[in-house]
Homo-oligomer: A and B are copies of this chain.
Amino acid sequence: MSQNSQHSLAPLLRKLGSWQELDERDAAAVLALPFVIRDLPASQFVVWEQERAQHCCVLLSGFAYRHKEAGGGRRQMMSIHMKGDCLDLQNSLLGSADHNVQMLSAGRVAVIPVQAIRDIAFGHPNVGMAMWCETLVEGSIFREWILNIGQRDAITRIAHLLCEFAVRLECAELGKHTNFALPITQDQLAEAVSLTPVHVNRMLRSLDSAGLIVRTRRNITIPDWHALAKVGDFHPHYLHVNQDRENTVTVKSLVHPA
């Protein structure tokens, strides 16, 4: 296992293992996946809309995001990705991309041929189930974003996004959920929560002066998690982080009383 953790694809194995119990053989098969490593600079595109995708990228380090453009040229971000996430299962399996994926920060990805993904998914049912779960949970997060953007006011939206990011970060073992570096600008935050950059700034400032977050540079500290979660109407259930499996965060402690 200590050997596994050194492997380039270890983050993928870790993530898949969080959705579904994998045995020795499953793990070996995941690590035996053919891949090519690529280092990408910040803001590099990983997938283009309408592109015919033949590969699936796994994010090994850094952050990335999905986005799409509406008619008037207005952009909407639809998800943020971090270590261990598959960046384009959808695009590669469906054949053509319906959105863009771009690096948020510089980072490293493993590029895996689609066919290898298909093969492992059906050759190793546990791995297949884990991948399926990955796409299902992504769907769940999309639904929560629809709710967030559709029904919550500006401050709540932003607080919610911060909470979600914090929990996911901790799940990916990238830091504490109470203190972390936000890898996005306020303009990008605005695209994520469907607000104006100007308004995002004001709300952030408002969360700050209310003592709900402390900002230094691009660093966020959350002095009182439950208070922020309450303001953000945040209930981590939709993230489906497994509460039983050992190597994952105990999300129960993050649930704020209704």
What residues of chain A have their CB less than 8 Å away from a CB belonging to chain B?
50, 66, 68, 70-72, 74-76, 78, 89-90, 93-96, 98-99, 118, 121-122, 125, 128-129, 132-133, 135-140, 142-152, 156, 194, 233, 237-238, 240
A74-B151, A122-B129, A139-B139 provided; 5 other pairs, C-beta below 8 A?
Answer: A76-B150, A78-B146, A98-B238, A135-B135, A146-B146
Query: Which residues on the B side are within 8 Å of A238 (C-beta)?
Result: 98-99
Provide 9 A-B residue pairs closer than 8 Å at the C-beta atoms, listed in order of the A residue. A74-B152, A75-B151, A90-B139, A90-B140, A94-B137, A121-B128, A122-B125, A122-B129, A146-B146
CB <8 Å contact, A139 and B137? no
Query: Which residues on the B side are within 8 Å of A156 (C-beta)?
Result: 71
CB <8 Å contact, A146 and B50? no
Q: Kindly state the separation between the CA atoms of A149 and B143 in the bound complex, as whole angstroms.
A: 12
Chain B CB within 10 Å — which of A138, A143, A238 has the most?
Answer: A143
Q: Kindly state the separation between the CA atoms of A66 and B147 in the bound complex, as whole angstroms.
A: 11
Query: Which residues on the B side are within 8 Å of A139 (C-beta)?
Result: 90, 135, 138-139, 142
CB <8 Å contact, A240 and B146? no
Q: Kindly state the separation between the CA atoms of A144 and B94 in the bound complex, as whole angstroms.
A: 16
Pairs A-B, 5 closest by C-beta atoms: A150-B194, A142-B142, A71-B233, A122-B125, A70-B151
CB <8 Å contact, A140 and B71? no
Output the nearest chain B residue to A150 by Cβ-Cβ distance. B194
CB <8 Å contact, B75 and A143? no
Query: Which residues on the B side are within 8 Å of A135 (C-beta)?
Result: 132, 135-136, 139
Query: Which residues on the B side are within 8 Å of A50 (C-beta)?
Result: 237
Chain B CB within 10 Å — which of A74, A75, A149 has the most?
Answer: A149
CB <8 Å contact, B78 and A140? no
Q: Kindly state the separation between the CA atoms of A148 and B149 in the bound complex, as whole angstroms.
A: 10
Q: Kindly state the separation between the CA atoms of A95 and B129 in the bound complex, as whole angstroms.
A: 13
